[in-house]
Amino acid sequence: METETAAALEAVFYFIYTNAAIVGYDRSIFHAVVAFSPVPLRHCTVSRATAHHGLISTVTTYHCPVSTVTTYHRPISKRSFSLLTMSFVIGRNGDLEDGPVGRLGVYRALDGSEGAPLHMDINGPHAMLVVGKRGYGKSYTLGVVAELLSRFEGVAPVIIDPMDVFQTLAAPSSGDPVPTTVIDDPVIVPTSLEPRSWCALLDLSPESAAGSLVWQAAEAERSIEAMIEHVESTEAPMMDKRSAINHLSLADSWGIFAVDGLTATDLCSSEISVLNVSGLESAPMNAVARGVAEALYTARINETTNRLPWLLIDEAHTFFNGLAAPALETVLTRGRAPGVSLVLATQRPSAVSDTAISQSDLLVSHRLTSYEDLEALRKAQPTYMDTSIDERMPTSAGEVVVIDDATETVHSVQIRRRDTPHGGDSPLATELQERA
C-alpha cells in the first residue's frame, strides 16, 4: 500500500506540474484536486495541491473510498486519474450561479490537453480587447463571443464587420440557435450622430463659419436634405453657405444616411445585428461606426432600451485611426456606467489608442510577434502578472492568454469551437482549382 501511495503522489506531482493550467484558480493560485485510483484497491489517495504559477508549494494527502471521488478519468503515464472538475468565470468575482455567462473555452494545459471550462461574464458591461496576428484566430474568437451573447435576451449584440466575415453567424448552428440579422450596406439616421459630430465627420472646425452652420443645421433637422435647406435659408455669407452645403452634399453622396435608417431601437434587439460595411470607403465606414456607437450610448443614457448593448468591432485599428475614434473612446471611458460594452479585435494593438488597452478589463491575446505590438501590451501589463506577456504568449491558432482585471488573474485558454461556420478563412489556390 505504501508503494502504491508513493507512486500515486509522484504521479500527482507530475500531473499538477504539467497540467496546472487546466483547473480553476482564484487570484493566480491554482487549487488542484487529483485522485489516483489503482484498481482493485478499495481506497485511493487524494492530494490537494496549492501552486503559484505552476510551482507546487504545498500538498496535503488524504485517503477516501473510491466511490466518493468524482470521476473524470484521464490516462496519464499509464495511470487513471480523477479530476474534480472546476470552472472559472472571467469578468467578475463570482460563481456560475451569480448571473448569465457564456463558455469561452477550456483551460490549456502545458502538455496540450484540455481541462476545465472557462466562462465569461455577460451579465455586466465590459471593455474587451482581442488581439493576435493574422491567421491565429482573432476574428474567430470575436465570433465565439457573439455566439455566447446571442443566447441571453438581456443584451443587444451589434457587430461592425469591415471584412465581410461574420455573415456566417446567420448560418445553421451545430448547437443552440444563434439568431442573427445581417445588414449589407447599412444606412443610419442622421440624428444618430450628435450635432458636434457632424463637424468632425466633415472635417470642419466647430468654430469656423461653415462648421457653425453645419452644427446648427444638424441640431434643427432630421435629414441631410433638410440640413442643406436650413443652411440655404440662413443669412450667412454665400461663401460660408456654399462651403457648408458642399460638405453636407459629400456626406449625402456616401449613401449611408436616411431618415428611415437604422436607429438604436432597431439595433437593441436580442438578435445579433451584423453591419456589413466591407463595401464602404474609410470615411463612410467610420461614420457608420461612430453613428452606431453614439446611438447605443445615448440610448442607454436616456434609458430608451432595457437591453445592454454590446458593440463588437473587427479590425479596430481602422476605426481608431479614423472618424469613429472619439465615439469609441467615449464608450471605453464612460460606457460602464450606462451599461454599454465594447469588444475590439485587432491584429495591430500598437495601432489602437493607449486607452483601448488600458481601459480593457478583459484582454485576450492570440499570438503576436511584432515588436511594436508586443511593446504596446508590455506597457499595460498589470502588476499582478508575475511573468511577462512574452513568456505567456501562445504558439498555436486558437490558443490565448486571458488577462482578467476584474479578478486580477491570468489564464491560458483554448478557445472553444464555434457553433456556426467561420467566415474568415483565407482561400487556398488548391481549393479554387478543385472547384474549377
Domain segments of the chain as ranges: 2-86, 117-186+262-431, 191-253
If residue 296 lies in a helix (H) or strand (E), which one and from where to where? helix 282-301
Please determine, for residue 8, whether its predicted confidence score (pLDDT) is greater than 60: no
What's the average model confidence in pLDDT over 228-247?
A: 97
Start-to-end CA distance of the chain, whole Å, equals 67
Query: Residue 430: its pLDDT value, please?
Result: 53
Q: Write out the three cell numbers for 354.
A: 493607449
- Residue 73 Cα to chain centre, angstroms: 33
Per-residue pLDDT at 110: 60
- How many beta carbons lie within 10 A of that of residue 73, not counting itself? 11
> In the chain, helix, strand, coil percent, each to 5?
35, 25, 40
What integer pLDDT is reported at residue 248 of this predicted model? 97
Q: What's the rounded mean pLDDT across residues 400-404?
A: 94
- Look up residue 137 and give its DSSP letter: S
- Mind giving me the DSSP string for 99-146? S-EEEEEEEE-TTS-EEEEEEEE-SS--EEEEE--TTSSHHHHHHHHH
Q: Which three cell numbers stand for residue 237?
A: 455669407
pLDDT above 70 (res 190): yes
Distance from C-alpha of 137 to C-alpha of 415, rounded to nearest angstrom: 9
> Residue 108: which pLDDT band, with cuts at 50, 70 and 90?
confident
pLDDT at position 24 over 60: no
List, for residues 211-229, the tens digit of each pLDDT value.
999 999 999 999 999 999 9
Residue 69 pLDDT greater than 60, yes or no: no
Task: Read off the pLDDT of residues 301-330 as tens digits, 9 standing for 90 and up.
Answer: 999 999 999 999 999 999 998 899 999 999
pLDDT for 203 beyond 60 = yes
Please tell me the predicted confidence (pLDDT) of residue 109: 65
- Whether the per-residue pLDDT at 373 is higher than 50: the answer is yes
Picking from 13-27, 159-173, 411-425, which range would have the lowest pLDDT averaged per residue? 13-27
Q: Mean pLDDT lowest for which of 54-63, 80-89, 90-99, 174-183?
A: 54-63
Give the residue with greater pLDDT, 63 vs 298: 298
Cα–Cα distance list, 359 to 132, 294, 341, 379, 434 (Å)? 18, 18, 12, 13, 47
Question: Please, which residues bridge with residue 404 across strands?
Answer: 362, 409
pLDDT of residue 30: 33
* Per-residue pLDDT at 250: 96
CB-based burial, 89-103: b 16+ in 10 Å, e otherwise: bbbbeeeeeeebbbe
Judge whether 302 and 340 are in contact, CB under 8 Å. no
The CATH architecture to which 117-186+262-431 belongs is 3-Layer(aba) Sandwich (3.40)
- Predicted confidence at residue 434, as pLDDT, reads 55
Q: Which residues contact 252 (CB under 8 A, 6 or more apart)?
A: 224, 225, 228
Please report which confidence band the pLDDT of residue 112 belongs to, taking 50, 70 and 90 as the band edges: low
pLDDT score for 55:
37
Share of the chain above pLDDT 90, in %: 66
Determine the distance from the C-alpha atom of residue 293 to the mean position of all C-alpha atoms in its chain, rounded to a whole number.
Answer: 16
Can you say whether the dihedral through the CA atoms of 288, 225, 263, 166 is positive or negative?
Answer: negative
Among the residue ranges 82-91, 291-300, 372-381, the one predicted with the least confidence is: 82-91
Please determine, for residue 290, whether its predicted confidence score (pLDDT) is greater than 80: yes
Output the pTM of the full model: 0.81
Is the link from the previous residue into 382 a cis peptide, with omega within 30 of 0?
A: no
With a cut of 50, say whether residue 369 has pLDDT above it: yes
Specify the range with the lowest mean pLDDT, choosing from 5-14, 106-115, 245-254. Answer: 5-14
The C-alpha angle 234, 237, 242, rounded to 5 degrees, equals: 85
Average pLDDT over residues 68-83: 31
